[in-house]
Amino acid sequence: MEPWAIAVVVIIIVIIAAGAGCGFYWAKTLKKFKKYQVNIVNAKEGIVSSVNKRFALSGKMFDITKPYLEYGEKTFAEIMQTEGGFKSEVSSKSLSVINYRLDQIAHDVDVVFEKNPNLKSDKSFLEQQALARDCEEHLQALRRIYNSNVKEYNQLLSVFPASLISVHYKFVKEDFFGTEEKTRSGAKVGI
């Protein structure tokens, strides 16, 4: 066999190997993106469920403590600026604002609880308070899982060559779930 033919065969083998390697990397990276997206959606659904549960519990606690709070004639829904529950389509930033408002109301209710001995003996309130604490702990665990997946996903979006795949499939950055200063500025609730 001629030396130039051997060189051509070697070049063809190298091109095929490189193409297979790139294809393998592409498929592996796409699978990672999809995995993170599924984990983010699942964690967000859990967060929405927990926020809905917390919303309901906070409403009950608000109703019990309303005679002691200084919200006037406002209802819980008016203070929260929403009626009913939330759907999984709600953005992470909106969920963060809602959760921050719930934190503020929970704080106001706790302050009223500490000042009023009648509430300390109210079994209904104590049950709601225990359920709310449990719900908040569950929500914090889901928040950590969600934010961890968002962090990994967003990092993968910005790393070359994975960024080429993200551009091709039009993947976009996800927002974190939290109560940073931007979230707090949009939520003013108080007694």
- Cβ burial of 57 (10 Å; 0-12, 13-18, 19+) is buried
Beta strands of 39-178 (E only): which ranges?
none
How many whole angstroms separate alpha carbon 80 and alpha carbon 55?
9
Output DSSP code: residue 191. Answer: -
Tell me: pLDDT of 186 over 80: no
Instruction: Locate the domains of the chain by residue range.
Output: 35-185
How many whole angstroms separate alpha carbon 110 and alpha carbon 190?
12
Q: Which residues of 31-47 are buried (b: 16+ CB within 10 A; e: fewer)?
A: eebeebeebbeebbebb
Q: CB-based contacts of 30: which residues, under 8 Å, 6+ apart?
A: 165, 169
- Cβ burial of 130 (10 Å; 0-12, 13-18, 19+) is exposed
Contact between residue 46 and residue 11 where contact means Cβ atoms under 8 Å apart:
no
pLDDT digits (tens, 9 = 90+) for 40-86: 999 989 988 888 888 888 888 877 777 776 665 666 666 666 655 56
The pLDDT of 169-183, averaged and rounded, is 74
The pLDDT of 169-188, averaged and rounded, is 66
The pLDDT of 156-163, averaged and rounded, is 87
Contact between residue 113 and residue 67 where contact means Cβ atoms under 8 Å apart:
no
Range 35-185 has CATH code 1.20.1440: yes
Tell me: pLDDT of 185 over 60: no
The pLDDT of 147-173, averaged and rounded, is 89
Q: Which residue has the tokens 């003013």?
A: 188
